[in-house]
Amino acid sequence: MMTSRDLILARIRQRRGTTSSPPDNTPLAGTSGQNLHPIDATERIKLFQRQALAMGCQLRPCSSRDMVLPTLQALLNDLPGHSRVAWPQLRRWLESTSLGCRFGSAHSTDQIGITGCAGAIAETGSLILTTGPDTPDSVSLLPEIHIALVCHDDIVVDLEAAWKHLAQRADWPPRGVTLVSGPSRTADIEQQVVIGAHGPAQVIILLYPG
Amino acid sequence: MPESAQFKKNAQRQLNNTGLQANLQRFGQRFAKARAIAIAELEDFSGLRQRATAWRDLTLANLDDWLIRFETHAQRMGTQVHWATTAAEVNQIVLEIAHKNKVRKVIKSKSMVSEETGLNAALQQSGIDTIETDLGEYILQLAGEPPSHLVAPALHKNVEEVADLFQEHHHTPRQTDIPTLCREARHQLRPHFLSADMGISGGNFLVADTGALVLLTNEGNARLVTTLPRVHVAITGIEKVIPSLDALAPLLRLLPRSATGQSITNDVSLLTGPRRPGDLEGPEEHHVILVDGGRSELLGSELQPALRCIRCGACMNHCPVYQNIGGHAYGWVYPGPIGAVLTPAYLGLEHARDLPQAATLCGACEVVCPVSIPLPDLLRVWRQRSVSRGLRPWPERVLLRLWLWCAMHPLLYRWIHRRLSWLLRQLANDSGQITYFPGLTDWTQGRNLKAPDQPPFHAQWAQRHRS
Amino acid sequence: MKIGLWITCLVDLMRPRIGFATLNLVRATGHSIEIPEQQTCCGQPGFNSGDTSAGRAMAMQFLKHFESFDAVVLASGSCAAMIRHDYPRLFANQPEYQVRFQELGQRTFELSEFLLRHPFDLPPTTQRFSGRLTYHDSCSGLRTLGIRSGPRQLLQRIPGVEIVEMPDREVCCGFGGAFSVKLGDIATRMAENKCRSILATGVDAVVGGDLGCLLTIEGRLRREGHSLPVWHWAEVLAGTVT
Ligand code: SF4
């Protein structure tokens, strides 16, 4: 009996009038760039900041890696919400402090989620988040406030550079790759933009030099 | 008979629907203007558009190979790939997955293909609680209405209507502040996200080289739908496959900009397979259903370019017909110019006869389409097929033949123009205006026609030359 | 240079004055003009209704009567677009004809395109319009041929003419050929919107380059009781209206 798969493939082959030929995407590969001119690291960081702000992120630049924890501490003191959860990946870095956060998957009662990132994209102001045992997606998704720690060295210039960066990972492709650009939003009622839909309503980026 | 067969009547009704008209007016050029700004920011829009078009054409030319390539990679990552020839088969596959996993509650993020198949009704009929989570779709689910726009499904509703629906269904005090209503929806839906057994999503793209499903959303709901429940099922058309991430980049640059003027949507998710060993979360089963539903019919035909569509909605945002009648008049899932091309293809021309006529061929849609779909040409293709299949009403057919015959005989044509010119003058009132013309009431119902005040040009010219 | 003048079927029947205005303007460039007697219609009504063979038949007729000219001029963006853009496509399966149509298409000019390439003095007249005008961009001329600034530039050569742009100026007026007699309700609403934009400018007259649009706009304005004059821009330039 012919399965639906066979049927659909047969129809496609009949319509295109040839038998199978190996797919080849070489003629177009590498031509998808927006032609962002190669820019140096300083420019790249500036562009990322500009774009992230445009997407509605808040930025907290830190002068050095050592300043991240005090900045985070001060930030948490100012923010409402005591139920905090962070990526297990950050355990070593954050555990020694008195931030009072849990490490693991987020619960629906968590108010603040703290993550790192697998990279960040200057062109779009996006954080690149990948799923894994140490980097559960829910931390950046369920709480109202998402705090991300982003190192200058993590920032790549554009989408193409992001794909290249990701492809070098040992676990490529991970189960989930999410480009997060600013807080969640909706404009479904009268096209009025409202920040904070089902995901976080605030995305705060702590940016630090490598 | 589907609603799409009643286009003219639907359009009339919508033109007289004052509530809808106010909502359409509010929408107006909003997305169009936002798009113009976002596109102007690009260094080379036309180059980008050409590349996006070329990438889409590349997979459409060998769709079978690319689908197999996607399937191979997706399966390797643990995704279960299903193929469905028809809408009914899609629903059947989803129900089987649901039953096997003892699913009692489903949460959905936006899926236009599931609108094609009437999936929600099928799930509800089998006793499975189904909840839409995209705010627009959620509002429509409460109202029991279909979407009227690809990107802003509840465009036709105003805040008062939403307030009424929420009050009625949530049993909460009536609120008319938009941010408050959005928060209310978040609170209402959060428990469903946490308790659902299965998440259903659409798919913006399928990446053949990695087996990834790509989803673009702003609300964060697609991430929840694909992360929290035990089972994730994505339903998407076979035409959505792209070769690689190289192809994704230009499409990502164009889709949100064309849709709402955003440089990128808040979330872009690339999902590959189910949860992995050690993962704390993620679905245990990941399914992708590849749907034909009439798509393969378009391949290799003049209509093939329609399969490039990335569902951005720009064509309807710029369509003066859509802007005046809204999406429901088109009578099926896809409204606007692309709907007028796809509906006859997926439902049959005889069920959507008037849709290809519902355009002035002004070309505004073609200019903005990020994948260069020549929508006016495609509408003309359907008009040609209507003529060759004899689907146009007989007076139109007779008139066309008559016109052609006269136009092929210049002397006769001259004579007819002279008679017509005279007749028009007879029908005019004292100020030269015709306000009623038998057989042309579609014109005269809303517009006068100023009669000629001289004999035809060629008649005058011939006379001058003779004298 | 020998020029063939094409009088569109709508101009012939409904507004012969536009034909004479066109004739005067082309004459002012000093080239010799002929108006082939056998011309009828470019075929758009058939082609856009889905009757391809009708389109092809009319194209062949056009070829027969106009191929011998050095240039063909006509005062309509949509007919010029049909000839230049659609005729060659109708003969995709007959390359030898396709080439001939392409070549003829290259020699076919919408009036403003022609006048911008060929120097001329405004024809003498006692009654040239002066005042504020708004210009309606017709869709095919605008989007298929890219006619945007040409007619505006030409109109600005007239002393005392000021052009005021209307809101949403590139939105269709709702004519669309057979569309306007098949889906009258929608067409009327579109015309209504267009007229609102036009009236918002407070101009003394509205001009355009395609008679179909002009009949629509004029018809709607009169139905609403407005007396704002509606002209082809060629009439204003030729000085046959005041
Ligand atoms: S046809 Fe083009 S403009 Fe319309 S929705 Fe599809 S991609 Fe967007």
SS (H, E, C) B241-278: EECCHHHHHHHHHHHHHHHHCCCCCCEEEEECCCCCCC
Rg (CA), chain B: 26
Q: What is the CA radius of gyration of chain A?
A: 21
Cβ burial, residue A38 (10 Å; 0-12/13-18/19+): exposed
Summarised one tens digit per residue, pLDDT across range C67-94 is 999 999 999 999 999 999 999 999 999 9
Q: Is the pLDDT of residue B302 over 60?
A: yes
User: Over pLDDT 70: what percentage of chain C?
Assistant: 100
Q: Match 């193929």 to its residue by tokens.
A: B83
pLDDT of residue B4: 87
Domain covering C2-117 assigned CATH 1.10.3470 in the classification = no
Q: What confidence tens digit (pLDDT) does each residue in B408-425 have?
A: 999 999 999 999 999 999
In whole angstroms, give the CA distance from residue B85 to residue B296: 9
Annotate C24-92 with DSSP letters as a single string.
HHHHHTT-EEE--TT----SHHHHHHT-HHHHHHHHHHHHHHHTTSSEEEES-HHHHHIIIIIHHHHTT
pLDDT band at B432 (very low <50, low <70, confident <90, very high): very high
Q: How confident is the model at residue B40 (pLDDT cuts 50, 70, 90)?
A: very high
* Closest ligand 1 atom, residue B314 Cα: 3
pLDDT of B104-121, one tens digit each?
A: 999 999 999 999 999 999
Q: Which chains touch C (3 or more CB pairs under 8 A)?
A: B
C223 → closest Cβ in B407, B441, B448: B448
**pLDDT the model gives residue A97:** 74
C14 contacts B458? CB cut-off 8 A: no
Split at pLDDT 50, 70, 90, the class of A23 is: low
- Over residues B198-216, the mean pLDDT reads 98
How many CB atoms lie under 10 A from the CB of residue A192?
13
Q: What is the pTM assigned to this prediction?
A: 0.95
pLDDT band at residue A36 using 50, 70 and 90 as cut-offs: low
Closest CA to A21 of B421, B467, C28, B63: B63
Neighboring chains of A (3 or more beta-carbon pairs < 8 A): B
Q: Considering only the beta carbons, identify the residue of A30, A190, A199 that sits closest to B158.
A: A190
pLDDT at C133: 97
CATH topology of domain A38-208: Rossmann fold (3.40.50)
What is the pLDDT of chain A when averaged over all its residues? 91
What does the DSSP assignment read for B146-172?
--SSSS-TTTT--HHHHHHHHHHHH--
Type and span of the H or E element at A48:
helix A41-54
* Averaged pLDDT score across all residues of chain B: 96
pLDDT class for B354, splitting at 50, 70, 90?
very high
Residue B435 has pLDDT above 80, yes or no: yes
Q: If you ran DSSP here, which 8-state letter would residue C148 be given?
A: S
Q: What is the pLDDT of residue A32?
A: 47
> Does residue B309's CB lie within 6 angstroms of at least one atom of ligand 1?
yes
- Tell me what pLDDT residue A29 has: 53
- Pairing state between β B212-217 and B205-207: antiparallel
CA distances from B434 to A46, B262, B443, B455, C227 (A): 66, 49, 10, 17, 15
Whether B269 shows a pLDDT value over 50: the answer reads yes
Domain boundaries in chain C? 2-117, 131-238
Confidence of residue B10 (pLDDT cuts 50, 70, 90): very high
The answer to whether chain B touches chain C by having 3 or more C-beta pairs less than 8 angstroms apart is yes
Split at pLDDT 50, 70, 90, the class of C106 is very high
Interface probe with B: pick from A186, A195, A203, most Cβ of B within 10 Å: A186
A19-47 average pLDDT score: 67
> d(Cα B445, Cα B435) in Å, to the nearest integer?
8
ipTM of the complex, rounded to two decimals:
0.96
Range scoring the smallest mean pLDDT among A156-160, C124-128, C133-137, C201-205: C124-128
Surface-to-core class of residue A191, CB atoms within 10 Å of its CB (0-12 exposed, 13-18 middle, 19+ buried): middle
Beta bridge partners of C135: C207
Please indicate if any CB of chain C lies within 8 Å of the CB of B364: yes
**Ligand 1 site, residue B60, Cβ cutoff 6 A:** no
Which sequence spans correspond to the domains of chain B? 1-41+311-392, 63-293, 394-466
Strands B105-108 and B129-132: parallel
Q: Cα dist. C12→A65, B278, B405, B440, C59 in Å? A: 80, 80, 18, 20, 19
pLDDT, one tens digit per residue, over C152-190 is 999 999 999 999 999 999 999 999 999 999 999 999 999
Region B129-133: what's the mean pLDDT?
98
Residue B89 has pLDDT above 50, yes or no: yes
Nearest-atom number in ligand 1 for the CA of B258 is 8
Q: Give the pLDDT confidence score for residue B161 in this predicted structure.
A: 97
Q: Return the pLDDT at A27.
A: 54
Are C2-117 and C131-238 the same fold in CATH? Answer: yes
CATH annotation of C131-238: 3.40.50
Q: Which residues 180-209 of C are in CB contact (within 8 Å) with B?
A: 180-193
pLDDT of residue A13: 94
The answer to whether residue C7 scores a pLDDT higher than 70 is: yes
With pLDDT > 70 as the criterion, what percentage of chain A qualifies? 90
Residue B128 CB partners (closer than 8 Å, separation 6+): B98, B103, B104, B105, B106
- To the nearest whole number, what is the mean pLDDT of chain C? 96
User: Whose CA is closest to B346, among B237, B247, B450?
Assistant: B237
What pLDDT was estimated at residue C128?
A: 85
B1, pLDDT greater than 70: no
- Residue A124 contacts residue B263 (beta carbons within 8 Å): yes
Looking at CATH, the fold of the domain delimited by B63-293 is given as Rossmann fold (3.40.50)
Average pLDDT, stretch C213-226?
98
Q: What is the pLDDT of residues A167-195, one digit of tens each?
A: 999 989 999 999 999 999 999 999 999 99
Measured in angstroms, how far is the CA atom of residue B353 from the centroid of ligand 1?
Answer: 21
Interface test mutation site (partner B, options A15, A175, A185, max chain B beta carbons within 10 A): A175
CA distance C59 to C43: 7
Structure tokens at C229: 């004059």
Q: How many CB atoms lie within 10 A of CB B340?
A: 30
Checking if the pLDDT of C4 tops 90, the result is yes
Task: Give the pLDDT of residue A95.
Answer: 86
- pLDDT tens digits along B362-392: 999 999 999 999 999 999 999 999 999 999 9
Mutation for A interface: B266, B284, B291, most A CBs within 10 A: B266
The whole-number pLDDT of residue B16 equals 96
Please give the residue of chain A at the shortest CA–CA distance from B266. A181
pLDDT of residue C45: 93
Element containing residue C193 per DSSP (H, E): helix C184-200
